[in-house]
Amino acid sequence: MAEIDIRSLGGRLRGRALAPGDDGWDEARRAWNLTADQHPDGVVLAEGVDDVRATVEFAREQGARVAPQSTGHAASGITSLEGTLLLRTLGMGGVEVDSGARRARVEGGAVWSAVAPKAAEHGLVGLSGSAGEVGVVGYTLGGGIGWLSRKHGLACNSVTSFEVVNAEGDVVRTAADSEPDLFWALRGGGGSFGVVTAMEFELYPLAEVYAGMIAWPAARGGDVVPAYLDWIEGLPEEMSAWVRFLTLPPIPQVPEHLRGVPLVDVTAAYAGPEAEGADLIRPLLDLGEPMMNTFATMPAAGLGALNGDPEEPVPGLGDGSLLGALPAEAVDAFVGVAGAESGSPLLSVQLRHLGGALARPADGGGATSSLDAEFALYAVGMAMGPDMAAATSAHVTKVGEALEPWSAGRRYLNFVDVPAPAALSFDDETYERLLSVRKRYDPDDLFRANHEVAPAV
Ligand SMILES: Cc1cc2nc3c(=O)[nH]c(=O)nc-3n(C[C@H](O)[C@H](O)[C@H](O)COP(=O)(O)OP(=O)(O)OC[C@H]3O[C@@H](n4cnc5c(N)ncnc54)[C@H](O)[C@@H]3O)c2cc1C
């Protein structure tokens, strides 16, 4: 392909178009996940829908592809950006809340931490995940599981409409009664179908939660993990509880006695009164003196900080999978590969309890309507240099292999952080339908997603 003259796009934009080597190039191509060393043919920093349209039209003229990206939290899933314009939507971060309709409308580059305070002004909350700096659109296109999902289901099934710039450069509004196939595909089918410039979704009334983290030394993992598995049986859908082997980094925000200390923790949120929540977590307190217990009533808007996910860009290497029920052998495997004696260099290996509304197909739901699994597993470490990257990556793989016997047979798109076929996240029928929607809306494969819906090669 001939070289793309990206500078000739600049005059058509409110935002900026950068070519390799331009001032600000490295910043423009940098993903939140610093392990993704992105080398597109050009970067567009879009400031509005017209910029997105101009980029799509320009890419078509030039025979280039377009990779929409907001934060780059999931950039490590992209194989290559050769012949591609990276279309950054972070400049389109608008958020509006309609308290009467209990809905939010966000632009294509909004992050959850911008939604939470605006929704909280009206005692409302959106179905965010565990990290406030994740993009609302990217998260939702991949499904979206967070602290309120057992009660309200996957975030994608709370979407009421998308505005999309399609492969022709036209703006299309899609909802249950308008372009329904596209609406279906965008809800959990990923970013292969167009550039989402705005999205509207339901908010839920919830001002406060009873939530926190209880942590013990990692050596207690052999007792804590089976006790956690017993405890979550029969928990109400208002309670989400996740168990994890965790080593907190040596940073000032972490209490000194916990810095660098391997822990096993249960972090949970209860969408109900404190008295009920405190009663529900009592069995955890019976497990013996923890090193830390932060359970308290907190604003629901603070849920984006509960899991302690990093806010600033980091070089993370992680991957995840979906698991079924975990018998005693699975507990041994989990503790063996992630616990105190494992030699794991990872920061976190977490099991998220699913079930509840996540297990029930949503009414008129999208491509990811429910998750037929008991747990989502996610393992992650840092790559602060080549040796650490190799050890981290090897151990992430080892965790996946150790738990593979209990795999639910499918992957969860948002927790696939390595290049992997999107087909692994869907049953055959759903994937066939996604392929046919892709063919209809993007017949020339203009859009490059991190997990692209494309025929097997
Ligand atoms: C620290 C951390 C915590 C996380 N916690 C959770 C969690 O609790 N629950 C959960 O479900 N997931 C979670 N994730 C996964 C996260 O939801 C995915 O990485 C998601 O894809 C991130 O979206 P993004 O827009 O921020 O990332 P990006 O890398 O910018 O985008 C990811 C992909 O989404 C698509 N995309 C993004 N914006 C657009 C757009 N405007 N139009 C079209 N396509 C677009 C593209 O295909 C892009 O490749 C977490 C990830 C991290 C790193």
> What DSSP assignment string belongs to 200-232?
EEE-EE--EEEEEEEEEEGGGHHHHHHHHHHHH
What the block records as the tokens of 332 is 């041994």
CATH topology of domain 208-415: Vanillyl-alcohol Oxidase; Chain A, domain 3 (3.40.462)
Tell me yes or no: is domain 7-88 CATH 3.30.43.10: yes
**3-class SS at 197?**
strand
* Beta carbons within 8 Å of 381's beta carbon, 6+ residues apart: 316, 317, 318, 344, 345, 346, 347, 348, 388, 391, 392, 395, 396
- Ligand 1 centre to CA of 195 (Å) is 14
CA of 283 to the centre of ligand 1 (A): 35
Closest atom of ligand 1 to 71 CA is 30
DSSP letters for 80-126: --TTEEEEE-TT---EEEETTTTEEEEETT-BHHHHHHHHHTTTEE-
CA of 452 to the centre of ligand 1 (A): 14
What size, in residues, is the chain?
457
pLDDT given at position 249:
80
Mean pLDDT per block of 10 residues along the chain (457 residues) reads 82 96 97 97 98 98 97 94 97 98 98 98 98 97 98 98 97 98 98 98 98 97 98 97 93 85 97 98 95 97 95 95 98 98 97 98 97 98 94 98 98 95 96 98 96 84
| Cross-strand pairs, 191 | none
What pLDDT does residue 2 have? 62
Quick one: which atom of ligand 1 is closest to the CA of 412?
11
- Ligand 1 centre from 414 Cα, in Å? 7
What the block records as the tokens of 163 is: 């505005």
Where in the chain are the domains? Answer: 7-88, 95-205, 208-415
The CA distance from 46 to 44, in Å, is 6
CATH architecture assigned to 95-205: 2-Layer Sandwich (3.30)
| Residue 3, pLDDT score | 76
pLDDT at 269 (0 to 100): 98
pLDDT at 457: 55
CA-CA-CA-CA torsion sign (449, 451, 456, 457): positive
pTM over 0.85: yes
375 with 326: CB under 8 angstroms?
yes
